[in-house]
Amino acid sequence: MTRQRKIIHVDADCFYAAVEVREQPELAGQPLAVGGRASRRGVIATASYEAREYGVRSAMASSRALSLCPQLVILPPRFDLYRSVSQQFHAIFRQFTDCIEPLSLDEAYLDVSDCQAFEGSATLIAEEIRRRVRDELGLTVSAGIAPNKFLAKVASDWRKPDGQFTVAPAAIAEFVESLPVKRINGVGKVMTAKLADMGVTTCGDLQQVPLATLVKRFGKYGQRLSELARGEDERPVQPARVRKSISVERTFSDDITAPEDMQLAVADIVRELQQRFGKIADRYMPVKRVVKVKFRDFKQTTLEEILPDDGSHWDDISAYQRLLQGAWARGGRPVRLLGAGLRLKPLGDENDEQLTLFGEAQMAE
């Protein structure tokens, strides 16, 4: 008999902002964000719940955030502090399991299948983790408990902030039946629209689509969609995961033809890349800047350049725009997808091996 896995996904609530409020209690109750300065085309990394009431969101341009909420307090990120707090999180996690897969400074998967605490109850283990984080660190985290990573991550968002939700094995079929497909990782606005055109808005709807149809329409990702729609996910929690790259891609519902529109689009993509890399900047150094262009006929090209030894100025939007101009010139045709990314090297790793970016087929939005 196959052992039933017990996975917890722990996700801190407004992590950067919450840490800043803990350090500066006078900020409590104010709309607060952590991110770059509007004068330097910065982006928001995290927004407090008070700021979110005004429509402020992560990956949003700081200038846009201030237009929505003029009284917004934007603080520069302090990654040394956030890294220290993250290490404190993990010290608590390790009291229950060594099988921990960090996704960023503020979230992680925990496999507690072999943990004997609380008679092996993953739900009670999650409650104890949340209590200790609250009592010892003065912060709150939310948790999702399920037999696999996909459902645990969905569940952790179910009762945010400072809550948790359990998807028991016997409840999976009912849980996914009405789950919106946009809850599936990788299903963004474009994919959601494509599935809606097929009459699919929930995982229950998706279950009714033949696998052959999904594979024909979406390639290998169609197989993945079919599995997740049924709540199936066999990925193990991987404690030693080294990231080789980070990227943001955007597929357009209408092909882009004007170079100036491409330049504006890649600027937005780089702003989102800034926000994503900020979560792992304490562990990786950028070594190359890369852009990707996929043309109307699905032919694609990438162009890259080496960054300074210290990885500085990796987020220079004008540099990405220059690279994009060179990549687009190779085809000179309407564009259906743009991507921007970085090749990475773990900090302290002197291995200069070639790392792949955009190397695996994925359904990007």
Q: Active-site residue among 20, 50, 101, 107? A: 107
CA-wise closest residue to 32 among 78, 73, 63: 73
- Residues whose CB is less than 8 angstroms from the CB of residue 178 and which lie 6 or more positions away in sequence, other chains included: 202, 203, 204
Q: Under DSSP, is residue 203 helix (H, G, I), strand (E, B) or coil? A: helix
Helix (H, G, I), strand (E, B) or coil at 28: coil
What are the angstrom distances between the C-alpha of 116 and each of 98, 124, 246?
13, 11, 37
133-141 long-range contacts, Cβ below 8 Å, gap at least 24? 133/89, 133/92, 134/162, 136/88, 136/92, 137/85, 137/88, 137/89, 138/22, 139/12, 139/13, 139/15, 139/18, 139/19, 139/22, 139/85, 140/12, 140/13, 140/18, 141/10, 141/11, 141/12, 141/13, 141/89
List 100's β-bridge partners, or say none: 110
**106 assigned ligand-binding residue:** yes
Task: Give the span between the Cα atoms of 122 and 10, in whole angstroms.
Answer: 12
In this structure, what DSSP letter does residue 280 have?
T
In the chain, DSSP assigns E strands to: 7-12, 32-35, 44-47, 73-75, 100-104, 107-111, 141-146, 164-166, 245-256, 284-295, 300-306, 335-346
Instruction: Respond yes or no: is residue 20 known to be catalytic.
Output: no
Q: Of 235, 172, 234, 182, which is closest to residue 206 (Cα–Cα)?
A: 182
Sole residue written with tokens 């929690």: 237
- The CA distance from 106 to 278, in Å, is 12
CA distance 347 to 299: 35
Residue among 280, 275, 294 at smallest CA distance from 245: 280
Active site residues: 107
Binding-site members are 11, 106
Binding-site members for Mg(2+) are 11, 106
